Amino acid sequence: MLQGIHRYRWRELQLLILPCLFMLTGIVMLVLVDNAPQQANRVNLPTLDSLIPAIGVIAALLATHILLTVFLPQADQVLFPIVALLSIFGVLMALRLGPALDTPNLGSKQLLWLLLGLGFCLLTILFTRRGTLWIRRYKYTFAAFGILLVGISLVRVLTSHIDFNSPTHDELNLPGGIPFQPSELLKICLVVFFAAYVAENREILGEGGPRLGFLPVPPLKQFGPLLLMLAVALVLFVGLRELGLALLIFGIFLAMLYLGSGRLLYVGWGLALFAVGAFLCYQVFGYVQDRVMVVGIDCNSQDPNVRKIILGPAFQICQGLIAIGTGGIFGSGLGLGNPTAVPAVQTDYVFAAVAEEFGLLGVMALLGLYIMLIYRGFRIATHAKSAFNQLLAGGLTAVFAIQTMIIVAGNLKLMPLTGIPLPFITYGGSSLIANYIIIGLLLRISATEST
Amino acid sequence: MELQLDQFLFILRIVLVALIYLFLIQLIFVVRRDLVRMASGAGAARAGTATQKGLGYLIVVKPGPMALRPGHRIDLEPVTTIGRGPTNTIVLEDSRISSEHARITYHDRQWWVEDLGSRNKCYLNGNQVPVGQGLPARPGDLLVLGPMDGVVTFKFGV
């Protein structure tokens, strides 16, 4: 017991102070804005009741901190506070956007998901009590489970009639009416599979294989299962019209191959394959063409033809840009903007809402948080001792990095928009739970492998 | 009265963003302290072992697919064996490394490298190390294990 006190995670506690203050300041601001007598755009913000979720978040985070001290005293102490602040951001945005979207309980629902996520994080830590290495023996089980998850929603999509030109979300309704996105778990399953497979074959992958003329080709025998898995996953997603997730999986695949082999050759071949795939998707799917076309549109144009597009397929993206532009450098202030003009602002466009209310300064700070999160993840990966753990930690961190890049670039109209959650901030249960499972794995790897 | 509320909201707005930046600064301090401690820890370890034993060490130059970091230092024992088998002093888990690959010994005030009949051989400064017969190694020499371009490369140091 004495040893336990000696190893108390003081640094983590210190780092948690500011996120908790952030939550309290945010909630005070929301309550005050609601009671301000003259607001130009009164958006019906939460009342005093919203103090309960706010205090609930702080209590949940501190409770997790104490449980981590009990179960995993030697784990990385910087990772959890970063994630805590990001989650607080998520709850705060849900609290703020909920009433304006006529769903006043959005904040408490997000809090519930956060609690579930923290629970799953601790469960993951308990399940990997003897280290994470046992996971690699079940790599095909994980792969099959992932494919099964997506197969179910594929069947559901194919049996119901859906317009082929519209993107669909692979949502399953669990008994009890709880929506659940299997693809969130699929990405973890795939990272586990890739990590185990690449760790086993890394010598051969590192050596390079036959040559096609003067072009080196990856060794096909070792590459086969990987490519097969990748193809199955991509076909499933193309079937589900979740091209954003297909992009994410492809990015993870390339990142992990590069981490495992250290050869740019694979990245080159991967990008070539990507170019072919992107071209085919562009030719086949109307909605992909729409989204690529939208990137090239000027939202200020007065041309009637372009106006038609701005009010049609480009409506969301132009509204998002207007929201970001309204925010300017300093932002309108939490609760003082009007981000609900953007469709799907609580999910795909939460970044635009943050940009409007916190301004460029706030967005830069937010991206700084993501950079620190990714830095910490890769640090855990470089300090891991076994190849499997290195690849697992690196791959899981790459998930956060790629997801953030895809959705932020989409919101800023730098890239065709694809609906993918912004880690920890987007409203949604499955994404939060999956992200916390990843955090649990990273914490466990940092604890077992640190010296 | 209204004006005061507006002013208060304005201060809250600034505080809210400032809190994130303060958190980031705090993070950077923590990370910096971490890095400094790691660097000084490594330095102290180097100085400590150097004064403790005047023997020698290997520095990882090219880790190959191994879970080793370049620049990582491995201290040598008077008899150090390298191989895939778990009984070796330095265990390298790679199918191109034989279970008992090479042996490094210290006698006659010098380090000697010896091949233990490995399948893919080992090379000292480009010269193949003969089987069962030591080759003297000096500080700065490069020891390459494995076929052709090698799996792992170590540099000798004393």
The mean per-residue pLDDT over the stretch A378-402 comes to 90
- Let me know: does A189 contact A142? Beta carbons within 8 Å: yes
Query: Looking at residue B137, what is its pLDDT?
Result: 84
Residue in A closest to B33 by C-alpha = A11
Q: Which residue of B has its CA nearest to A329?
A: B17
Contacts of B69 in chain A (CB under 8 A): 382
Q: Write out pLDDT tens, residues A292-304.
A: 888 877 777 777 7
CB contact under 8 A, B65 and A261: yes
| Contact flag B19-A22 (C-beta cutoff 8 Å) | yes
B12 contacts in A (CB within 8 Å)? 25, 28-29, 32, 333
Least confident range from B51-55, B74-78, B97-101: namely: B51-55
What's the CA gap between B150 and B147, in Å, rounded?
5
Q: How far is A7 from chain B (nearest CA, A)?
A: 17
> What mean pLDDT do residues A120-148 have?
87
SS3 A331: coil
The per-residue pLDDT for range A423-439, each reduced to its tens digit, is 999 888 889 999 999 99
pLDDT the model gives residue A174? 56
Under the banding of pLDDT at 50, 70 and 90, the label for residue B52 is very low
Interval A12-31 mean pLDDT: 90
Contact A385 B94 (CB under 8 A): no
Whether the CB-CB separation of B42 and B48 falls below 8 Å is answered with no
Q: Which chain B residues are Cβ-neighbours of A38 within 8 angstroms?
A: 2
Question: 3-state secondary structure string, chain B?
Answer: CHHHHHHHHHHHHHHHHHHHHHHHHHHHHHHHHHHHHHHHHHHHHHHHHHHHCCCCEEEEEECCCCCCCCCCEEECCCEEEEECCCCCCEECCCCCCCCCCEEEEEECCEEEEEECCCCCCEEECCEECCECCCEEECCCCEEEECCCCCCEEEEEEC
Question: Which residues from B are below 8 Å from A362, CB to CB?
Answer: 16-17, 20
pLDDT of res. A424: 92
Residue to substitute from B4, B6, B17, B152, interface A, most A β-carbons within 10 A: B17
The answer to whether the Cβ–Cβ distance between B12 and A28 falls below 8 Å is yes
Most confident of A46-60, A246-260, A397-411, B87-101: A397-411
Q: What is the pLDDT of residues A198-214, one digit of tens each?
A: 888 877 776 655 666 56
Is the per-residue pLDDT at A2 higher than 60?
no
Q: What band does B50 get if pLDDT is binned at 50, 70 and 90?
A: very low
Q: What is the pLDDT of residues B140-149, one digit of tens each?
A: 888 888 776 6
CA distance A34 to chain B (A): 11
Q: Which residue has the higher pLDDT, B45 or A115?
A: A115
Out of A49-58, A233-242, B13-22, least confident range: A233-242
Q: What is the reported pLDDT for A96?
A: 85
pLDDT above 90 (res A405): yes
Please tell me the predicted confidence (pLDDT) of residue A118.
94
DSSP for residue A332: S
Q: In chain B, whose CA is at the least distance from the CA of A85? A: B20
> A369-378 burial, b if ≥16 CB within 10 A, otherwise e?
bbebbbebbb
Check residue A16 and give its pLDDT: 92
More confident residue, A444 or B39: A444
Q: How confident is the model at residue A58, as a pLDDT? A: 92
Distance from CA of A152 to the nearest CA of B (A): 38
Q: What is the pTM of this model?
A: 0.81
Pick from A28, A203, A369: CB nearest B94: A203
Say whether pLDDT at B69 is over 90: no
Q: Is A358 an interface residue toward B (CB < 8 Å)?
A: yes
Residue A449 has a pLDDT of 58
Average pLDDT, chain A: 82
Q: What is the pLDDT of residue B157?
A: 76
ipTM over the 0.95 cut-off: no
- Indicate if the pLDDT at residue B47 is higher than 60: no
Q: How many Cα atoms are found within 13 Å in the side-chain-facing hemisphere of A413?
A: 19
**Residue in A448, A443, A440 with CA at minimum distance from that of residue A130:** A448
Q: Which of B2, B9, B94 sits opposite A333 (nearest CB)?
A: B9
What is the pLDDT at residue A165? 46
Percentage of chain A with pLDDT > 90? 25
In which band, very low, low, confident or very high, does the pLDDT at B2 lie, cut at 50, 70 and 90? Answer: low
Q: How far apart are the first and last CA of chain A?
A: 21
